[in-house]
Structure 1
């Protein structure tokens, strides 16, 4: 099995992006959140991405954005599961990582959560883009309008080239525009962000209520045709 088989299957299932990274690229992962902490025999990580429409950011309501986000997360999880079964059918092991996983690690005082594997750091290690000042992955084609999924496997796959840094030097639009001043150009204060990023509706639903750091970024303006 080679990279092309994995990528072609990912694309056929609906992914827009698929990249591969070696375990060696995760040497800076926090203890307990490294791929081998999830699966000790891990040798490669497969990262997949699906973009969402730039038109959503121009709507006067956040409901369409919330709907598309939820549907894309379902799609990415479906792709990860199908990739897992395919890899296993070829005689290897694979572990799917949820796109929007429930946190096992949660710091209630700081409202800080960590997934078992950081999807954006995995995507960067797999060559899908580079993390910008707004702490979101920026891709050359789709900008920062991406949701991500991943699969860990014991297959030895050829790692893709790491993407160049895309964040514009001297641009601080996301830092200046964040209504919570939650960004410092390196990390995000999750507590400040979570205080306004989502809200419950009167009927008991949930809507993402702030994506200012995405919308003001020049890379949110990239069109699908590029």
Structure 2
């Protein structure tokens, strides 16, 4: 009788996993992986070391909620399952065509992903509750203390590359990660245990600010994405001429990654660039007014750096050429 009950329970958990993956696919998610919720024991000393070395720079929030980052049950009471999802953002065409053009990280071309994906996640949770029944959960898109890359790896979606990003064999790394933490027990996927980077060091070699201090460890305070987005004060002079015209974020370590040869253009209309942005010249960036900024980047992730921050970044990048 006990055996029969166990088999029935396992069949239920298998059924839930299938429903979750089917619904995720219907909403446009490229991959969906499932892991058993629990304390990330192996990550605790790594996170502590990273913080102690001040690799988070001025991102004080990274040092907050240490326990919550490592334990999803502190985010969702009674959490049993962490669902990780991948959503593609690789564009069909890059905005910057020339070497001297100012550059945006590809994820920031269109509408702010927080809104686009959060809406999809809310619908996914609602649809699942309607189909499966009563269970509780929360959804996350890079907005809470969730170690998303580690959970994605534990759910079999990829491995952590030398640039610390999650790499997926089928599509590289130009994608967003999102999570759903629920109190429903679901059959977990096997974790990705193999590292497919091998001896490749292209990302380490290409980083102009030497932010990747060792395989899998990024000194955030030296990363161009940090300097152009997270840092609210002046960009340190030691990085003059090293930001390579990136004015919001940076894709260098992804652009050189061999696994990104498998990237395919996304199919999300909301990620298409604002029409005015398509023809932006270097002069347009340098002479941008706040009115233009508010119009072109009204729904963009660039709102995070604000008009003053973007002007600072453009000015810092332009000094390389003005001083030559």
Same fold (TM over 0.5): yes
- Residue 7 of structure 1: CA displacement? 1.0
1:188 to 199, 218, 222: 218
Distance (whole Å) between structure 1 residues aligned to residue 163 and residue 110 of structure 2: 18
Matched, 1:13 2:54: no
Distance (whole Å) between structure 1 residues aligned to residue 39 and residue 264 of structure 2: 30
| Residue in structure 1 matched with residue 264 of structure 2 by the alignment | 224
- Residue 55 of structure 1: CA displacement? 4.3
Aligned CA-pair RMSD: 2.7
| Residue in structure 2 matched with residue 106 of structure 1 by the alignment | none
Alignment of 1:23-172 (within 5 A): 23-24=37-38, 26-30=40-44, 31-33=67-69, 34-53=71-90, 55-56=92-93, 59-60=96-97, 62-63=103-104, 65-68=106-109, 70-89=111-130, 90-97=133-140, 99-101=141-143, 115-172=144-201
- Residue 179 of structure 1: CA displacement? 1.1
Structure 1 portions without partners, runs of 5+: 102-114, 201-205
Distance (whole Å) between structure 2 residues aligned to residue 116 and residue 223 of structure 1: 28
TM-score, normalisation: structure 2: 0.57
| Residue in structure 1 matched with residue 48 of structure 2 by the alignment | none
Structure 2 portions without partners, runs of 5+: 1-14, 45-66, 233-245, 266-324
Higher-helix-fraction structure: 2
- Residue 117 of structure 1: CA displacement? 0.4
Distance (whole Å) between structure 2 residues aligned to residue 80 and residue 215 of structure 1: 28
Residues 72/221 of structure 1: CA separation in 2 closer, same or farther (3 Å cut): farther
- Residue 207 of structure 1: CA displacement? 5.3
- Residue 14 of structure 1: CA displacement? 1.4
- Residue 164 of structure 1: CA displacement? 4.4
